[in-house]
């Protein structure tokens, strides 16, 4: 969020504040680890995510926040890892004890934190109606396709919406004044960590499928909530084009960038950092000054 | 008192492990034992004769048979002693086969010791038991059949033809159920409505059947022999007797709505004939679709009706009935394919369900094309069945066959079609099924073993792409189809769920109505006098439905035929001398069988005999007639008497329906568990009061375990809660005496949890070993609990 | 081509047990329906199908550890949310990877990727290293 996904963070904070929500950054946060440990005996890989939850506890104890135990994640991969580890230790006292023992220089985690994704805050706390109210520049029939990826919806205990037919991002698009372009590949895995190393074609191939799926339904652009998906679908389009010469590129935005745009805060949307530049398209639709 | 004790060899099954002669000798030393015999096969003619002869010769008044499980041959010996002139409850079995010789086959000495003690327990139990007369209820000849599908129709006809008076209540405006919607039936390809229509006509004409369609059950109270039923007859606004089904009204009606009979694929009018085979054969006005009846908005139908059959002022009618027995035949619904969005139902135009396919085929045969079926057709099996993700773990039984049938019909209609069936297992278990499957293969239907995770649609051609792993070649194959048919499973219908609530019928873990005993009473429900037939009890095909319907009818008849009905004697009863009318038992009873009129009174028609009431009474005034307080205490005492130093004795209370059956199953499978566990049979473990548990520890028990049916399969509601409460109180008493609470445990079971049983039985002994023997001082500190009034 | 015959020995039983222990899943529950295969977005790139991975795990065939498939898995959990027996396949493939990784045999070598690090987002590098190194 501080490097490759700067625009995600900036647009998120801007949109949130407009909606009356203050996103307080966790002091001394550490990397959550990006992927969940899936073996039954692993304790080590839970330490990183849980330590962040301890921070939330500390923020309450130190008075930085008042009785606020919700940890809001922007990146859906982080959301998945944090929520999964949280559920694991809440339901397995033995595991919680072991993790706390490992982190002997930190206060014990007491299982009080709730991990939520920013989209859930939009849906459940702020409400899409309020989002609609704040729209200064309705998206003018811009056809947007939602891309969920894996980590927002799966596994079922973690997912913020139905794994097979989610609607939360589509509701956001509609609230912002856009039109929804359905995509049968809306939750097809982008290829994730295969973007590193010798299997990049796997990612490029997925990008091909996902973007074409959206295009066939008339989409102008894609929105996503995960920096890895964004990288894979955005930056890797170069490789996709090399593999499939007829492929037409499509801009990929963070959902918060779309929100910033609709709220009239183009500067905070950070379009400079998008690989496939969305500005020509947006200018053409009258959504950006020429 | 003169007791005869019979120790069975069981042809070696017992005597190969247990020294039966030693058991016989031990028995002969017990109080009041007059005769002891050890016999090769007690259940044989000669074995039973030995009992009868001895009763006559020695004037025996009680009998103990130390042999197999009472669940196995209990009835045999009850009949034997009845023949000898004794009350049938004056015999008790000691289970030394399934619960000693078999599970402890590796320890013959311990098995023999245990057999001795089990026999002594049975002897003491029968000493304190009282003869019980079975209560009889007066029975009339009135039956309520709920549901007018093939099950309800068959049961009604059987009963009516036998001279019983049947009230057949059906929710829809016509009887016939789902069978009336089908095209042809497997494996013979009979036309469904052709074979069903004559039966429907019979129902309409039979003078003993009072048919009420478009009617719903509102309430049912009372019990067997005296059910009071309140029915709502919805107004059809058309007189069934006058209507000639000329159809003129339908032609002029301005309102069109989706036709439910065709699953919404075609339209019908607000005034309509439910189907071409409807019985009663009369139109009906759907008041929700109609433009308005009061005040009248249109009135066109009445104008053209030459029979003057339409009456806009018809009011709903409430009918009150008194019936003796009830048969539930409320059927199934198909699984809602929208719950599996990955298959694109209602999203892709070329994905339909099997029931829709049935209607398409029927209509096609009559010359109406609802939709084109195309050339390449795929069937996807197990949609909504065998699927943990939608919570239906069961197999719906008929889908493999109905898909084979639909595939065969399609292939025969046009051999150039490519028809595929994508399955995981192909279940062709019934008569003629395997042969029918073979014929389908001969026709060229392709059966591929693989289940698709999702279906994709070509956005231009709208053809559906099925991508599947052919698990037999391990290759992923992809093919486009013109039409994909989802072989949806069966789920309990809304009507079944509603009726289960109204009649307080328990449902099995799959959601269908639970039978009283899965093997021996498949059409009885746990409620006396209420039977179940057809798919309300579980997925099945038409022959099985008809068989079950006739079975339910026969069961109802056998209950009513003699004019009186003998009930199970396991009922609660009140000692009026002790009862002070406080009413705590009323709240404790999970089926509302008790009321207080000065003193507490138990309605034996409703009482299920669980014993939950017993622990609520501060005066010890309520008890069970069989498995009484005295009998249970007798078994506890004898299980713990003469316990040697260092010996461990665990008492396990096992409920008859599940835990006891499970224990028998464990023994039959020769699975071993610690022989220090002594099992006491109870109708429900909720009948074990906290004080009984405390007294058991006083007498030397090292641990107590209570086993009970899991909620979903239990014949009694809410007993697990009662057990939990009782255990809590008993543990508190233990705590106060400084004894470890862990020594009392309880768990729900179902009859297949062999491993769990063995583990828990052994665990109880381990707990006892961990804490060692309970010292005398602690046992003396145990205080019996007072039941406190909640003011 | 000769028919391949596998003698099922003690070591196969041990492997099956190890897989169940590491994953916490009962692989014998798999009824080989193939839904996982057709739900898997990476199935086309794999040398054995996901259902095949389960089958080999059930019988304890060591070939499964040598397969490319378990490394192509992207841990997307689509198989997990679709399995009609409720098996969490993602955990099973993780267990299979871990058996090799815990022997200190990494799937990717840091040296091979250090040149592209500047172009990759941290999230990609962290997740790849976490998954593919012991």
Q: What's the average model confidence in pLDDT over C106-130? A: 83
A30–chain C Cβ distance below 8 A for any pair: no
The whole-angstrom separation of Cα C39 and Cα C80 is: 9
Neighbouring-strand partners of residue B677: B650
Task: Give residue-wise pLDDT tens across range A16-30.
Answer: 888 877 778 887 788
Nearest to A49 by CA among A82, A11, A12: A82
- Residues of chain C in contact with residue B394, where contact means CB-CB under 8 angstroms, are none
How far from B772 is each of B727, B765, B768, C69, CA to CA, in Å?
21, 10, 6, 54
Mean pLDDT for chain B overall = 93
Residues of the domain holding B47: 1-133
pLDDT at B789: 56
* Tokens encoding B176: 């016939």
Whether residue B760 sits in one domain with residue B637: yes
pLDDT of residue A141: 81
Q: What is the mean pLDDT of residues A181-186?
A: 92
Cβ pair B599, B619 in contact under 8 A: no
On whether the CB atoms of residues A202 and C131 are closer than 8 A, the answer is no
Spatial separation of the C-alpha atoms in residues B379 and B357, rounded to whole Å: 11
Residue B512 CB neighbour total at 10 angstroms: 23
CATH 1.10.1060.10 boundaries in chain C: 10-103
* H or E element, residue B127: helix B108-128
Share of chain C above pLDDT 70, in %: 99
| C96 in contact with chain A, both atoms CB, cutoff 8 A | no
Indicate the pLDDT class of residue B344, thresholds 50, 70 and 90: very high
Task: Tally the domains of chain B.
Answer: 6
With an 8 Å Cβ cutoff, is C127 touching chain A? Answer: yes
- Residue A290's pLDDT is 64
Q: Which residues contact C116 (CB under 8 A, 6 or more apart)?
A: A196
Q: Which whole number is the average pLDDT over B229-253? A: 95
Quickly state the pLDDT bin for C78 (edges 50, 70, 90). very high
* CB burial of residue B620 (10 Å; 0-12, 13-18, 19+): middle
Q: Please determine, for residue B636, whether its predicted confidence score (pLDDT) is greater than 50.
A: yes
Residue B756's H or E segment, with its range, is helix B754-771
Q: What pLDDT was estimated at residue B791?
A: 46
Confidence of residue B66 (pLDDT cuts 50, 70, 90): very high
pLDDT in tens, B720-768: 999 999 999 999 999 999 999 999 999 999 877 898 999 999 999 999 9
| Residue B324 pLDDT level (bands cut at 50, 70, 90) | very high
B505 band by pLDDT with thresholds 50, 70 and 90: confident
Going by pLDDT thresholds of 50, 70 and 90, the confidence category of residue A62 is: confident
C-alpha distance from residue B758 to each of B103, B670, B682, B763, C42 (Å) = 10, 11, 19, 8, 44
Measured from the Cβ of residue B75, the count of other Cβ atoms closer than 10 Å reads 11
Query: For the domain C10-103, what is the CATH superfamily, name and number?
Result: Alpha-helical ferredoxin (1.10.1060.10)
CB B783 within 8 Å of CB B737:
yes
Cβ-contact C37, C51 below 8 angstroms: yes
Q: Which of B83, B110, B133 is the endpoint of a domain?
A: B133
Q: What is the CATH number of the domain that holds B735?
A: 3.40.50
Pick the residue with more confidence: B242 or A3? Answer: B242
CA A5 to chain centre: 10
What is the edge-to-edge ordering of all strands in the sheet holding B209-212? Answer: B209-212, B165-169, B142-146, B325-328, B530-532
Query: Are residues B762 and B644 both part of a single domain?
Result: yes
Residue B119 shares a structural domain with residue B149: no
Residues of B in contact with C85 (CB under 8 A): 388
B385 pLDDT band, cuts 50/70/90, is very high
Nearest to B660 by CA among B644, B676, B677, B648: B677
- Show Cβ contacts of residue B16 under 8 Å, excluding neighbours closer than 6 positions: B101, B105
Q: With beta carbons under 8 A apart, name residues in chain A contacting B452.
A: none
- Contact: B452, C38; criterion CB under 8 Å: yes
Asked if residue B415 and residue B449 are part of one domain, the reply reads yes
User: Considering CB atoms only, which of C31, C34, C83 is closest to B468?
Assistant: C34
One domain for residues B536 and B634: no
Instruction: Tell whether B450 and B379 lie within a shared domain.
Output: yes
Per-residue model confidence as pLDDT tens digits over B643-691: 888 899 999 999 998 899 999 999 999 999 999 999 999 999 999 999 9
Cis peptide bond prior to B295, omega within 30° of 0: yes
**A56 touching chain C per CB within 8 A:** no
Radius of gyration of chain A (CA): 19
Residue A49 near chain C (CB below 8 Å): no
Task: Tell me the DSSP string of C73-104.
Answer: -----HHHHH-TT---HHHHHHHHHHHHHTTT
Task: Quote the mean pLDDT of chain A.
Answer: 89
Please identify, among B76, B110, B133, the residue that sits at the C-terminal boundary of a domain. Answer: B133
In angstroms, the CA B429 to CA B395 distance is 13
**What integer is the mean pLDDT of B38-51?**
93
Report CB contact under 8 Å: A197, C122: no
> What percent of chain B stands above pLDDT 70?
99
> CA B143, CA B210: separation in Å to the nearest integer?
10
Region of B238 on the Ramachandran plot (φ > 0 left; ψ -120 to 50 alpha; else beta): beta
For residue B512, give the nearest of B548, B545, B544, B536 by alpha carbon. Answer: B536
Two structure tokens written together for A139: 């998206």
Percent share of chain B, pLDDT over 90: 85
B1 secondary structure, DSSP code: -
First to last CA, chain A: 29
For residue B476, list chain C residues with Cβ-Cβ distance below 8 A.
37-38, 43-44, 49
Give the Cα separation of B37 and A208 in Å (integer): 86
Q: Cβ contacts (< 8 Å) between C41 and chain A: which residues?
A: 188-189, 206
- pTM reported for the whole predicted model: 0.82
Q: Quick one: closest CA in C to B452, which residue? A: C35
End-to-end CA distance of chain B: 45
> Mean per-residue pLDDT for B393-412?
96
* Cα→Cα distances B691→B127, B140, B529, B573, C43, Å: 22, 43, 35, 19, 63
Minimal CA–CA distance to A114: which of A98, A90, A97, A96? A90
DSSP H or E segment with residue B215: strand B215-223
Chain B partners of C81 at a C-beta cutoff of 8 Å?
389
Residue B694 sits in the same domain as residue B705: yes
Query: Which element (helix H / strand E) includes B98?
Result: none
SS3 B260: helix
More confident residue, B606 or B413: B413
Other beta carbons within 10 angstroms of residue B11's beta carbon come to 11
Give the C-alpha separation, C88 to A158, whole Å.
14
Same domain, B777 and B634: yes
* A184/B456 Cβ within 8 A: yes
**CATH at B377:** 3.50.50.60
Q: Chain B partners of C53 at a C-beta cutoff of 8 Å?
A: none
Does residue A184 belong to the interface with chain B, where contact is any CB pair within 8 Å? yes
Q: Return d(Cα B111, Cα C34) in angstroms, integer.
A: 49
- Burial of A116-146, coded b for 16+ CB within 10 Å and e otherwise, reads bbbbbbbbeebeeeebeebbebebeebbbbb
**Domain-terminating residue out of B491, B516, B544:** B491
* Residue B183 clears pLDDT 50, i.e. is over it: yes
Q: Which two tokens stand for residue A126?
A: 């702020």
Q: Do A162 and B341 touch (CB under 8 A)?
A: yes
pLDDT higher than threshold 80 for residue B522: yes
C18 touching chain A per CB within 8 A: no
**What six digits make up the tokens of A34?**
């990006």
Model confidence over B158-173: pLDDT tens digits? Answer: 999 999 999 999 999 9
Same domain, yes or no: B224 and B324? yes
pLDDT, tens digit, for every residue of A199-231? Answer: 889 999 999 999 999 999 999 999 999 999 999
For residue B713, the model assigns a pLDDT of 72
Count other C-beta atoms under 10 Å from residue B753's C-beta.
Answer: 20
Instruction: Name the nearest CA neighbour of A285 among A138, A176, A180.
Output: A138
Rg of chain C over Cα atoms, rounded to whole angstroms, equals: 16
3-state secondary structure of B736: helix
Q: Are residues B589 and B541 in the same domain?
A: no
Task: Please classify residue B597 by burial: count the beta carbons closer than 10 Å to its beta carbon, then call 0-12 exposed, 13-18 middle and 19+ buried.
Answer: exposed
**How far is the C-alpha of B428 from the C-alpha of B407, rounded, in Å?**
15
Task: Say whether both B323 and B469 belong to one domain.
Answer: no
For residue B6, the SS3 value is strand
Q: How far is CA B246 from CA A40, B243, B270, B284, in A?
A: 71, 8, 16, 13
Question: Could you give the CA distance from residue A286 to residue A185 in angstroms, rounded to a whole number?
Answer: 29
**Average pLDDT, integer, range B266-294:** 94
Nearest CA in chain B to A187: B342
**Rounded-to-integer distance, Cα B192 and Cα B178, Å:** 10
Instruction: Please tell me the predicted confidence (pLDDT) of residue B103.
Output: 95
At residue B512, the 3 state secondary structure works out as: coil
Interface mutation vs chain C, best among B335, B427, B453, most C CBs within 10 Å = B453
CATH code of residue B580: 3.30.70.20
The torsion angles phi and psi of B784, rounded to 5 degrees, stand at -70, 140
Residue B787 banded pLDDT, cuts 50, 70, 90? low
C86 vs B396: CA distance, rounded Å: 18
Residue B788 and residue B642 share a domain: yes
C49: closest chain B residue by CA: B474
């Amino acid at each position: 969020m501080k490097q490759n996904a700067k625009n995600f963070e900036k647009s998120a904070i801007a949109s949130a504040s407009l909606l009356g929500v203050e996103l307080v950054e966790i002091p001394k946060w550490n990397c959550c680890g990006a992927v969940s440990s899936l073996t039954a005996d692993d304790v080590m890989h839970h330490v990183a995510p849980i330590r962040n939850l301890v921070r939330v506890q500390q923020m309450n104890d130190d008075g930085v926040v008042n009785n606020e135990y919700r940890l809001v994640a922007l990146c859906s991969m982080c959301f998945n890892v944090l929520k999964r580890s949280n559920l694991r230790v809440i339901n397995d006292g033995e595991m919680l004890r072991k993790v706390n023992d490992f982190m002997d220089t930190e206060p014990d985690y007491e299982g009080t934190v709730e991990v939520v994704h920013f989209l859930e805050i939009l849906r459940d706390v702020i409400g899409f109606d309020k989002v609609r109210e704040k729209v200064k520049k309705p998206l003018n029939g811009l056809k947007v396709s939602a891309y969920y990826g894996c980590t927002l919806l799966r596994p079922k205990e973690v997912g913020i919406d139905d794994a097979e037919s989610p609607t939360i991002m589509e509701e956001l698009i509609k609230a912002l004044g856009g039109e929804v372009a359905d995509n049968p590949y809306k939750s097809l895995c982008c290829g994730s960590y295969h973007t590193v190393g010798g299997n990049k074609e796997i990612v490029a191939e997925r990008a091909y499928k996902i973007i074409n799926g959206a295009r066939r339904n008339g989409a102008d652009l894609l929105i996503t909530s995960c920096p890895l998906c964004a990288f894979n679908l955005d930056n890797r389009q170069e490789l996709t084009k090399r593999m499939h010469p007829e492929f037409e590129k499509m801009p990929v935005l963070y959902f918060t960038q779309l929100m910033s745009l609709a709220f009239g805060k183009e500067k905070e949307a950070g379009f400079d950092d998008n690989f496939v530049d969305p500005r020509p398209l947006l200018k053409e639709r009258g959504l950006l000054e020429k | 008192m003169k007791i005869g004790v019979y120790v069975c060899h069981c042809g070696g099954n017992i005597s190969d492990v247990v020294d039966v002669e030693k058991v016989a000798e031990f028995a002969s030393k017990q109080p009041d034992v007059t005769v002891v015999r050890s016999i090769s096969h007690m259940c044989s003619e000669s074995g039973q004769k030995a009992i009868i002869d001895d009763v006559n010769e020695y004037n025996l008044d009680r009998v103990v048979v130390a042999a197999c499980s009472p669940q196995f041959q209990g009835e045999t010996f009850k009949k034997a002693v009845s023949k000898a002139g004794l009350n049938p409850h004056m015999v008790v079995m000691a289970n030394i086969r399934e619960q000693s010789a078999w599970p402890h086959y590796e320890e013959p000495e311990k098995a023999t010791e245990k057999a001795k003690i089990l026999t002594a327990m049975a002897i003491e139990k029968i000493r304190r038991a009282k003869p019980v007369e079975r209560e009889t209820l007066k029975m009339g000849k009135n039956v309520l059949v709920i549901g007018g599908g093939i099950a309800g129709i068959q049961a009604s006809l059987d009963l009516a033809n036998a001279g019983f008076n049947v009230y057949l209540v059906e929710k829809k405006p016509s009887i016939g159920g789902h069978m009336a919607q089908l095209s042809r039936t497997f494996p013979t390809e009979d036309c469904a409505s052709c074979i069903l229509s004559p039966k429907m006509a019979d129902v309409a004409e039979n003078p003993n059947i009072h048919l009420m369609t478009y009617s719903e059950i509102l309430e049912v109270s009372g019990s067997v022999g005296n059910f009071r039923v309140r029915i709502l007859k919805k107004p059809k606004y058309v007189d069934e007797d006058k209507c000639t089904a000329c159809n003129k009204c339908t032609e002029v009606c301005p309102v069109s709505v989706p036709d439910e009979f065709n699953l919404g694929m075609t339209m019908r009018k607000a005034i309509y004939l439910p189907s071409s085979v409807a019985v009663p054969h009369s139109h009906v006005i759907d008041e929700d679709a109609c433009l308005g009846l009061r005040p009248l908005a249109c009135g066109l139908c009445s104008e053209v009706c030459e029979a003057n059959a339409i009456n806009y002022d018809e009011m709903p009618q409430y009918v009150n009935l008194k019936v003796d027995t009830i048969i539930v035949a409320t059927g199934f619904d198909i699984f809602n394919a929208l719950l599996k969005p990955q298959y694109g139902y209602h999203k892709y135009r070329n994905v339909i369900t099997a029931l829709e396919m049935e209607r398409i085929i029927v209509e096609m045969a009559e010359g109406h094309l609802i939709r084109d079926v195309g050339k390449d057709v795929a069937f996807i099996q197990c949609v909504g069945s065998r699927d943990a993700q939608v919570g239906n773990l069961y197999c719906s039984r008929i889908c493999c066959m109905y898909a084979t049938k639909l595939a065969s019909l399609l292939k025969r209609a046009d051999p150039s079609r490519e028809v595929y069936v994508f399955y995981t297992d192909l279940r062709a278990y019934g008569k003629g099924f395997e042969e029918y499957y073979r014929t389908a293969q001969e026709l060229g239907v392709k059966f591929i073993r693989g289940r698709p995770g999702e279906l994709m649609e070509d956005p231009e051609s709208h053809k559906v792409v099925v991508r599947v792993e052919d698990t037999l070649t391990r290759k992923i194959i992809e093919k486009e189809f013109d039409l994909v048919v989802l072989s949806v499973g069966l789920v309990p219908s809304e009507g079944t769920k509603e009726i289960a609530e109204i009649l307080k019928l328990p449902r099995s873990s799959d959601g269908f109505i639970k039978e009283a005993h899965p093997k021996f009473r498949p059409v009885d429900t746990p409620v006396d006098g209420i039977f179940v037939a057809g798919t309300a009890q579980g997925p099945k095909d038409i022959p099985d439905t008809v068989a079950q319907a006739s079975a339910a009818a026969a069961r109802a008849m056998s209950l009513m035929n003699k004019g009186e009905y003998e009930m199970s004697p396991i009922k609660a009863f009140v000692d009026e001398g002790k009862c002070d009318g406080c009413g705590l038992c009323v709240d404790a009873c999970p089926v509302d069988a008790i009321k207080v009129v000065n003193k507490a009174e138990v309605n034996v028609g409703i009482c299920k005999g669980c014993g939950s009431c017993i622990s609520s009474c501060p005066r010890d005034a309520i008890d069970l007639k069989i498995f009484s307080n005295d009998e249970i205490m007798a078994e506890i005492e004898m299980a713990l008497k003469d316990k040697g130093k260092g010996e461990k004795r665990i008492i396990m209370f096992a409920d008859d329906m599940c835990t006891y059956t499970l224990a028998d199953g464990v023994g039959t499978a020769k699975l071993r568990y610690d022989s220090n566990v002594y099992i006491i049979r109870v109708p429900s473990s909720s009948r074990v009061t906290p004080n009984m548990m405390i007294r058991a520890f006083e007498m030397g028990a090292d641990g107590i375990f209570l086993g009970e049916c899991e909620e979903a399969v239990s014949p009694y509601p809410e007993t697990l809660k009662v057990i939990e409460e009782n255990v809590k109180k008993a543990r508190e008493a233990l705590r106060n005496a400084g004894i470890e609470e862990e020594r009392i445990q309880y768990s729900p079971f179902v009859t297949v949890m062999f491993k769990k049983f063995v583990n828990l039985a052994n665990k109880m002994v381990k707990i006892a070993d961990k804490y060692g023997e309970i010292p005398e001082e602690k046992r003396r500190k145990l205080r019996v609990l007072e039941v406190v009034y909640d003011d | 081509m000769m028919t391949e015959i596998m003698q099922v020995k003690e070591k196969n039983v041990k492997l099956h047990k190890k897989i169940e222990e590491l994953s916490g899943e009962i692989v014998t529950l798999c009824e080989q329906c193939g839904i996982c295969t057709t739900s898997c977005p990476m199935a086309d790139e794999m040398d054995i199908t996901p259902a095949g991975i389960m089958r080999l795990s059930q019988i304890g065939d060591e070939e499964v550890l040598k397969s490319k498939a378990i490394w192509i898995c992207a841990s997307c959990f689509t198989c997990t949310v679709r399995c009609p027996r409720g098996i969490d396949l993602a955990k099973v493939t993780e267990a299979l990877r871990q058996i090799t990784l815990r022997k200190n045999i990494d799937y990717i070598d840091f040296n091979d990727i250090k040149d592209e690090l500047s172009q990759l987002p941290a999230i990609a590098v962290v997740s790849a290293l976490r998954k593919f190194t012991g």
